[in-house]
Amino acid sequence: MLIARLIAEPDGLETRLDAASAALEARGIRTAAAAMLEHCGEVLQISLPDGDVATVRELLGAHFDPCDLLVARDTIEVPRLFVSDMDSTMIGQECIDELADYAGIKPQIAAITERAMQGELDFPTALRERVGLLKGLEEGAIERCLGERIVPVGGARTLVATLKAHGCRTVLVTGGFHHFADPVAERIGFERVVGNRLAVADGKLSGALAGAISDADTKEATLREEAARLGEGARTLAMGDGANDIPMLQAADYGIAYRAKPAARAAASGWIERGNLTAALSLLGIPKADWVAG
Ligand SMILES: [Mg+2]
């Protein structure tokens, strides 16, 4: 059995539901029941006896977009583990692009970032190239950049605080840098950070990474390692927006693409395109009365 939950524009919802049900039926997928989720007023829950996640996601997206959506097998429960990407998911910026502005090379760096996030470039190669271009930048620029440019995405703190209050462990895993991720994690409330370290010498970036690279494989491995510690049956949630989040999104029980690149969206079991990050709480069935302000 599949469960699909979605939040869409309320106008014409029933008409679109009829059209979506007909489209699903045409692909051999029957809609067993559809009703607003109790205690989560705006969430429409559709039960399907069978069918594959990708087809259901694609057809619901076609009929309800822009919407927030989660499709899962059997049940949707509050997860015991939340692993999230940072840049353009928990914060509205790509840190390396903003930092590059302090070196006067934002357009060059941002062009590489965009292609890497679309999945057009090998992530480790693209990361090392960009870090190399930042060689010689004063380390102090990072703190200025953090203060002047980096802003959490709406709902980030409430999402993390509420999941923690429901017994969920929270981990921020980034292909970006600890210099940014550590203060961001503290501000939003994450319990652990995994990321890259920028090498610094004499107060300046040396243009290299210190230690092992944190890439798509690291994100997936972190999710699996944390999930294994929780034991059998613990549900996992991952969230991200870029191509390097795909293995992590696919490894999680619930992989939500947040205003994501097409490749990441296509690999996820749902997405947020309409609301802010708290839409994930509604999709997980946590009523607003139980949200914890971050
Ligand atoms: Mg990202």
Report yes or no: 135 and 201 within 8 Å, Cβ to Cβ. Answer: no
CATH of the domain at 224: 3.40.50.1000
Q: What residues does the ion ligand 1 have nearby, CB within 5 Å?
A: 85, 87-89, 241-242
Q: How is residue 69 written in tokens?
A: 């959506």
Q: Note if the pTM is more than 0.75.
A: yes
Q: How is residue 47 written in tokens?
A: 């039960």
Instruction: Indicate the number of domains in the chain.
Output: 2
Tell me the pLDDT of the chain averaged across its residues: 96
Expressed in angstroms and rounded, the spacing between residue 88 Cα and the centre of ligand 1 is: 5
| Co-location of 157 and 245 in the same domain | yes
Expressed in angstroms and rounded, the spacing between residue 260 Cα and the centre of ligand 1 is: 8
> Mean pLDDT over residues 279-290, rounded?
97
Q: Is 94 in a helix, a strand, or coil?
A: coil
Q: Is 158 in a helix, a strand, or coil?
A: helix
In a domain, residue 106? The reply is: no
Q: What is the pLDDT of residue 72?
A: 96
Q: pLDDT tens digits, residue range 143-156? A: 999 999 999 999 99
Expressed in angstroms and rounded, the spacing between residue 279 Cα and the centre of ligand 1 is: 18
User: Of 21, 50, 76, which closes a domain?
Assistant: 76
Expressed in angstroms and rounded, the spacing between residue 109 Cα and the centre of ligand 1 is: 15
User: Of 76, 104, 132, which closes a domain?
Assistant: 76
Q: How is residue 262 written in tokens?
A: 């097409």
Q: How is residue 75 written in tokens?
A: 């049940």
| Co-location of 174 and 275 in the same domain | yes
In a domain, residue 276? The reply is: yes
CATH of the domain at 16: 3.30.70.100
Active site residue 85: yes
218: pLDDT strictly greater than 90: yes
Which of 219, 251, 263, 272 has its CA nearest to residue 117?
263
> Mean pLDDT over residues 166-184, rounded?
98
Q: How is residue 270 written in tokens?
A: 């749902």
Q: Which of 18, 50, 68, 87 is catalytic?
A: 87
For the four alpha carbons of 238, 228, 290 and 91, in that order, the dihedral sign comes to negative
> Mean pLDDT over residues 255-279, rounded?
97
| Co-location of 23 and 81 in the same domain | no
Q: What is the pLDDT of residue 229?
A: 96
| Co-location of 238 and 259 in the same domain | yes
222: pLDDT strictly greater than 90: yes
Expressed in angstroms and rounded, the spacing between residue 24 Cα and the centre of ligand 1 is: 32
Q: Which of 11, 18, 85, 245 is catalytic?
A: 85
Q: pLDDT tens digits, residue range 55-66? A: 999 999 999 999
Phi, psi of 166 (to 5 degrees): -95, 20
Q: What is the pLDDT of residue 104?
A: 97
In a domain, residue 205? The reply is: yes
| Co-location of 175 and 280 in the same domain | yes
| Co-location of 87 and 9 in the same domain | no
In a domain, residue 140? The reply is: no
47: pLDDT strictly greater than 90: yes
Between CA 281 and CA 165 the distance in angstroms is 12
> Mean pLDDT over residues 194-218, rounded?
97
In a domain, residue 131? The reply is: no
| Co-location of 7 and 38 in the same domain | yes
| Co-location of 169 and 289 in the same domain | yes
| Co-location of 47 and 189 in the same domain | no
Expressed in angstroms and rounded, the spacing between residue 261 Cα and the centre of ligand 1 is: 9
In a domain, residue 113? The reply is: no
Report yes or no: 30 and 48 within 8 Å, Cβ to Cβ. Answer: yes
Active site residue 217: no
Helix axes 123-133 and 95-102, enclosed angle (nearest 10) = 20
Q: How far is CA 40 from CA 73, 140, 160, 205, 207, in A?
A: 20, 45, 19, 48, 49
Between CA 283 and CA 77 the distance in angstroms is 10
| Co-location of 88 and 63 in the same domain | no
In a domain, residue 1? The reply is: yes
In a domain, residue 168? The reply is: yes
238: pLDDT strictly greater than 90: yes
pLDDT band at 162 (very low <50, low <70, confident <90, very high): very high
DSSP 121-167: S-HHHHHHHHHHHTTT-BTHHHHHHHHHH--BPTTHHHHHHHHHHTT
How many other CB atoms are found less than 10 A from the CB of residue 180? Answer: 27
Candidate from 29-43, 127-141, 190-204, 237-251 with smallest mean pLDDT: 29-43
| Co-location of 27 and 81 in the same domain | no
DSSP 239-287: EE-SGGGHHHHHHSSEEEEES--HHHHHHSSEEESSS-TTHHHHHTT--
| Co-location of 30 and 88 in the same domain | no
Report yes or no: 131 and 112 within 8 Å, Cβ to Cβ. Answer: no
User: Of 11, 46, 76, which closes a domain?
Assistant: 76
Q: What is the pLDDT of residue 294?
A: 81
Residue span of the structural domain in which 41 resides:
1-76
Q: What is the pLDDT of residue 34?
A: 94
Q: pLDDT tens digits, residue range 106-143? A: 999 999 999 999 999 999 999 999 999 999 999 999 99
